[in-house]
Chains A and B, each alone.
Chain A
Amino acid sequence: MPLLSLRNLSVTFDTASGPFKAVDGVDITVEPGEVLGIVGESGSGKSVAMLGLMGLLPPSATVTADEIAFEGRDMRAMSGRERRKIIGNEIAMIFQEPMSSLNPCFTVGYQIKEALKAHTDLDRKGRQTRAIELMNAVGIPEPERRLSAFPHQMSGGMSQRVMIAMATACNPKLLIADEPTTALDVTIQAQILDLLLDLQKDRGMAMILITHDMGVIAETAERVVVQYAGQQVERQPVSTLFDQPHHPYTAALLAAIPERSTGSRLPTIPGVVPGQGDRPDGCLFNPRCDKADERCRTVVPPRQPASLGEALCHYPLNHPASASAA
């Protein structure tokens, strides 16, 4: 049984100029203990889908789905009280901006213990011990002293460690990390990614890692979902995604990374991600795709089989047969 199973999850925002579908029919399954990467540019709906799952969206958002099941329990049918037992306890989330995720008015110790108070029945002393344990586990030196530090006294890397300590306070089965290292320097990013992967392995925790950085995906994820304008355009294991992308968007995204380019000019994707007003007919990627034809502009593309990366495309690239011939 998968740990988390989302089927046909959509999120629609009511805006002044009509409804806007930020997430469009997303399917996600996460097995216990695996690392799933979700990659996409800004506006691809990768964060919104996860916020929708966590119930953290504003009232203007409507979340619909055919299935939202955590360990086989249907979360749509649950009361708010039951949901909150799972969220923050068994599913935890960390965010991009560690500095602004912490409340500047309280010490980090208070904030970690607050999470423990909400979700465990430890007494005051037990919470203190557990908080020190957690700070140790995430590699914060001198945890006893650091518990009484305020967020502004800590660096970005340290704040993110505190966030991770808080999120893992209840030994969650699933950790959703939304761009956990984007605001950090590369050497600190490497430390935080290692920490997350160590925790994930030690505790057998599953992780959904949301990022826009293909490098981070290559280093951490086992399976990858590529998202574009609210749709999942490709789903593949990480080992084959980088060599054999099946969706033209994935291929173009990989080609645009300076590290992978050879010439003096980078191959670019013309245009920008479609917004609310200019969603094209047919395939959402067709105005920017160099392989688009009349069918792409009119007919919504089908989901290809797993051998073609479940690409949402009429003409997927790198056919297994032709790839071996080429």
Chain B
Amino acid sequence: MDAPTNAPTRASTTASAKAIVTATDVSQVYEVRRGFFAKPLGLKAVKDASFTVEEGETLAIVGESGCGKSTLARMLTMIETPSEGALVIDGVTVSGDDPGDLKKLRSTVQIVFQNPYGALNPRQKVGSIIEEPLKINTRLSAAERRQKAEAALAEVGLRPEHYGRYPHMFSGGQRQRIAIARAIILEPKILVLDEPVSALDVSIQAQILNLLADLQDRLGLTYIFISHDLSVVKHVADRVMVMYLGRPVEIAPVDALYATPLHPYTRALLSATPATDPASKGQRIRLTGELPSPISPPPGCSFNPRCPYANDRCRSERPELTTHGATRVACFAVEEGRIDGV
């Protein structure tokens, strides 16, 4: 699995003292039953993902549905432990062997989900929703919890009188604020944001993005921002990881990624995103076909059936991430200089 060319780069990033999350060849395999007597098949939702997240930065994870970005979020938040590879968060290895470690990490990493309508229990009052993490993880008294919850409400721009209301009395944007208040109440270091604004309207989306930026400044949070919307990512991210069929295909600083995308998939993704400028239409790269099934991925590079640059090597061998300037990209066409303008 491990390519020798790759090892030095990885070691050097791991050594950097600021890395708060280090993932080394992390994989997640689900068993899929096809029929009662059939042997279960292994579906690798995430395959050999290696990356680091530095303290205080925003790493965006981008990809289409089925690329494994939400599975990665589930591993980072310890909803699931990786089936292969090592995931180190804040100096602690996530393995599931020691429940004490996981308990400690759970207050370090918190998550905000995509759908604010589904993420809040409609039968619970806002106050008790926000206090629940405190009830589970701390021994604070009811009065102290209430005080903290009201502070958290103020932090996300809601008023103290909202404490006793039910979620249905709030709009989508306000509910997302409640979800954020719940996520920050344990004073986590890392916030995993799983498509936090894709269910919201543009004007509300801007309010939430600003709130997240303010919180990051004030609380020094590290964000892992999962999204499929490249224009949002461009605005919020420091670094971007593009995933395709469970594997990172390109990891780059945000400016480099948008100025000179290297991987053919990144380029297609960027050009498929509609630009809000009527003058720029009609210069898109067209991808044919759809994402292949993760149960039987194509041999070689998983992007080869849709890639305009694919050759025989791409169809048989799998590219590993290699360094090109500030970017790490997994593509033979880039390595061999077969793409124009790279």
Question: Which segment, of A19-27, A100-108, A258-266, A298-306, faces chain B?
Answer: A258-266
Chain A residue contacts of B65, Cβ below 8 A? 185
Interface centre among B65, B202, B206, B235 (most CB of A within 10 A): B202
Counting CB contacts under 8 A, is A190 at the interface? yes
When the two chains form their complex, are residues B275 and A258 in contact, meaning their CB atoms are under 8 A apart?
A: no
Counting CB contacts under 8 A, is A325 at the interface? no
B263 CB to closest chain A CB, in angstroms? 13
B225 CB to closest chain A CB, in angstroms? 12
When the two chains form their complex, are residues B230 and A242 in contact, meaning their CB atoms are under 8 A apart?
A: no
When the two chains form their complex, are residues B269 and A186 in contact, meaning their CB atoms are under 8 A apart?
A: yes
Q: A270 — nearest CB in chain B belongs to which residue?
A: B207
When the two chains form their complex, are residues B286 and A242 in contact, meaning their CB atoms are under 8 A apart?
A: no
Interface string of A185-197 (1 = CB under 8 A from B): 1111111011000
- Complex CA gap A157/B64 in Å reads 12
When the two chains form their complex, are residues A259 and B286 in contact, meaning their CB atoms are under 8 A apart?
A: no
When the two chains form their complex, are residues B278 and A215 in contact, meaning their CB atoms are under 8 A apart?
A: no
The 7 A-B pairs at the shortest CB distance, nearest first, are namely: A215-B274, A258-B235, A259-B231, A185-B64, A266-B206, A41-B201, A256-B206
Chain A residue contacts of B275, Cβ below 8 A? 215, 218-219, 259
Counting CB contacts under 8 A, is B44 at the interface? no
Interface string of B198-226 (1 = CB under 8 A from A): 00011111110110010000000000000
Report if A258-B277 is in contact (Cβ < 8 Å); known contacts: A42-B201, A187-B268, A266-B235: no
Counting CB contacts under 8 A, is B139 at the interface? no
Q: How many residues of A contact B (CB 8 A)?
A: 43
When the two chains form their complex, are residues A266 and B272 in contact, meaning their CB atoms are under 8 A apart?
A: no
Q: A194 — nearest CB in chain B belongs to which residue?
A: B286
- Complex CA gap A273/B206 in Å reads 15
Chain B residue contacts of A155, Cβ below 8 A? 290
A residues 231-276 near B (Cβ < 8 Å) are 238-239, 241-242, 252-254, 256-261, 264-270, 272-273
When the two chains form their complex, are residues A187 and B64 in contact, meaning their CB atoms are under 8 A apart?
A: yes
- Complex CA gap A189/B290 in Å reads 11
Q: A265 — nearest CB in chain B belongs to which residue?
A: B210
8 further contact pairs, Cβ within 8 A, besides A186-B230, A189-B272, A252-B203 = A187-B268, A190-B286, A215-B275, A219-B274, A239-B278, A256-B202, A256-B206, A272-B171
Counting CB contacts under 8 A, is A213 at the interface? yes
Chain A residue contacts of B75, Cβ below 8 A? none
Counting CB contacts under 8 A, is B177 at the interface? no
Counting CB contacts under 8 A, is B234 at the interface? yes
Chain B residue contacts of A252, Cβ below 8 A? 203
Counting CB contacts under 8 A, is B173 at the interface? yes
A273 CB to closest chain B CB, in angstroms? 8
- Complex CA gap A188/B289 in Å reads 8
B162 CB to closest chain A CB, in angstroms? 14
- Complex CA gap A193/B273 in Å reads 12
Interface string of B178-213 (1 = CB under 8 A from A): 000000000000000000000001111111011001
